Structure 1
């Protein structure tokens, strides 16, 4: 098994990598000022109500945390937004379009991309191969373009561009030295880096991160946070589900708290930290 990647030393290397990534990825592009709106979202499993009328909005270019005790409905809300679950009620809008109930690939195709608590890499493929399959609308996916000589040139050109972007993104996350390693051999932290790197190659406008720091050692957690902040500075919007309340409070400008399938409160970290209902939900024996 490969070891955890070492932190890059010196500020010079970081600046050079940032410049390459800004040029290659081009930031998150133009989006609505409130790209994600969730209204009256509901999800039931038999007689259990997992999500009960959830409503919130996410501002463009923001980093928002979604927290709550175990079983609060956070991941189910994520699943309903991104199409993994079909909601039983309510509406999800992204950039002014109704995406309620769309398939996951359709949601991702519109620029709303998620990661998972347990990384879902393609284990029998190398890290670089995992990256190469991520970009959407690849010309080589059409059989006729793959076999006709005049069309093959455009396929080759696009594949070369994707390869360059893949390498630059791996460099940005400091895992380019693992490019030829099989993904199944990566450590848990390295898999989290790969999943986030792969998500960026889909040209997202907004990223929903489900427990991105779970099982990650402290040094790699710090690096992940640095990368997320750098991407936010480039214009990407983040909604992060996380159990570590302190981590969310220290890194997000807005916090949404769920409890028993509903929104308990939302506001600045300071407002949420001092909210008596939040204190009761976390410390009142229901964690």
Structure 2
């Protein structure tokens, strides 16, 4: 697996340093380009699934649940919890099409002629050894970086080079390995920022008598939707907690919930299980499977090969900036090239 303002999955901006100015690389993957960097492993969970303390001993929840195992091979429930709104991309189509992506940093080729597509309504995994180019590819797809060559199409539209918020507005949302919440705002306030097309974003409309009623009506509808999503991810009990007080896994839940509020057709998840304890990892997987049952499409970057093999219908393997293998989990497991890449052999 830049810009002057970083953009969150919902298309809003934050004052963090731009992606390309970060001198560090992602903790689990040493891509040549700067990416979401060096996440310290955190252990946690929401209070409903069992919490472990953060590194400083604090937690927004309470004790471990001894009944939750560490298995990541999740059985999809017979009656999955319905997501607040169904996604709208027909199954069998290919909403995301990546063709010939290339990106260099100085003399280093980070991504070289990367091409693949993702079928609607599927879980697709993107894996590879450290430095394979996975995060660079994610950043090129979502507008955090601009490719030197190649095109990205989403729902048939060329989105190459668009700003991250423009891509999010078209229905392609993403999360980051290091969650990007606004720490001095509550969980509820973070969630209320996510829905797009808010009338109240205009100061004039929010104060003019002729439009104030429209603003209030929209905010009421959005608040109802926010509570539905918080309940879906089982973090509604944290609504009034400051986001900065959440433990690592709870922040992952918040970020995924916030991304869902943008009404995406497809979600790109960057290391969603990094630093998450086994019980919360299982819960996150259940949420992803439930959303997939509603028609959402997922592309997931992950280093845990077994987790991807057990939960994705299709796996794309990258190595040294190129797509090494693309196929079913069974095909990937039997590939000598993939085995050699992970064991350090020549490919």
State the TM-score, normalized to the length of structure 1. 0.93
Hey, which bits of structure 1, 4+ residues long, moved more than 4 A? 14-17
Q: Which residue of 2 aligns with 1:18?
A: 81
Residue 89 of structure 2, aligned match among 30, 47, 51: 30
Counterparts of 1:104-253 in structure 2, within 5 Å, are 104-253=164-313
Q: Which residue of 2 aligns with 1:261?
A: 321
Deviation at 1:7, TM superposition (A): 2.8
Q: Structure 1: 5+ residue runs without aligned partners?
A: none
Select the structure that is richer in helix: 1
Deviation at 1:18, TM superposition (A): 2.3
Count of residue correspondences: 277
Q: Which moved more, 1:249-258 or 1:139-148?
A: 139-148
Q: Structure 2: 5+ residue runs without aligned partners?
A: 1-43, 51-66, 68-76
Q: Which residue of 2 aligns with 1:6?
A: 48
Counterparts of 1:46-125 in structure 2, within 5 Å, are 46-125=106-185
State the distance in 2 between where 1:3 and 1:200 align. 19
Question: Is contact 1:17-1:172 (8 Å) kept?
Answer: no
Deviation at 1:102, TM superposition (A): 0.5
1:52-101 Cα deviation digits (max 9, x unpaired) = 00000100101000000000000000000000000000000000000001
1:137-176 Cα deviation digits (max 9, x unpaired) = 1000012211111201010010011111111101111110
State the distance in 2 between where 1:66 and 1:17 align. 25
Deviation at 1:3, TM superposition (A): 6.7
1:281 aligns with 2:344: no
State the distance in 2 between where 1:16 and 1:285 align. 45
State the TM-score, normalized to the length of structure 2. 0.77
Question: Is contact 1:5-1:190 (8 Å) kept?
Answer: no
Say if 1:201 and 1:283 are closer, same or farther in 2 by CA, change over 3 A: same
